[in-house]
Homo-oligomer: A and B are copies of this chain.
């Protein structure tokens, strides 16, 4: 069965996000003064072949831990959805 994993990888809350701070400033300059905070991370879609949703979950977790997220600086979360 095919599954789609939607992964969000974000900088840890405890850490500064200089890119987000820069974007906050730029949005203010564009007139969007209601913007208070911006944090920027990665969104990754993975299409994978697995025998069950459980296995897809496990593979995605492994991919995040081993390669996609740097857990010293980033946290990750994901959802799995079955594709037809």
Q: A: which residues have CB within 8 A of B?
A: 2, 8-10, 20, 23, 26-27, 30, 32, 34-50, 59, 62-63, 66-68
Q: Told that A34-B59, A35-B63 touch, could you supply 9 new A-B pairs with CB distance under 8 A?
A: A2-B36, A9-B43, A30-B63, A32-B48, A32-B59, A39-B45, A40-B44, A41-B43, A41-B44
Rounded to whole Å, the gap between the CB of A71 and the closest CB of chain B is 16
Mostly, the A contact residues are strand
What is the oligomeric copy number? 2
Rounded to whole Å, the gap between the CB of A76 and the closest CB of chain B is 10
Rounded to whole Å, the gap between the CB of A12 and the closest CB of chain B is 13
Q: Are B30 and A67 in contact (CB under 8 A)?
A: yes
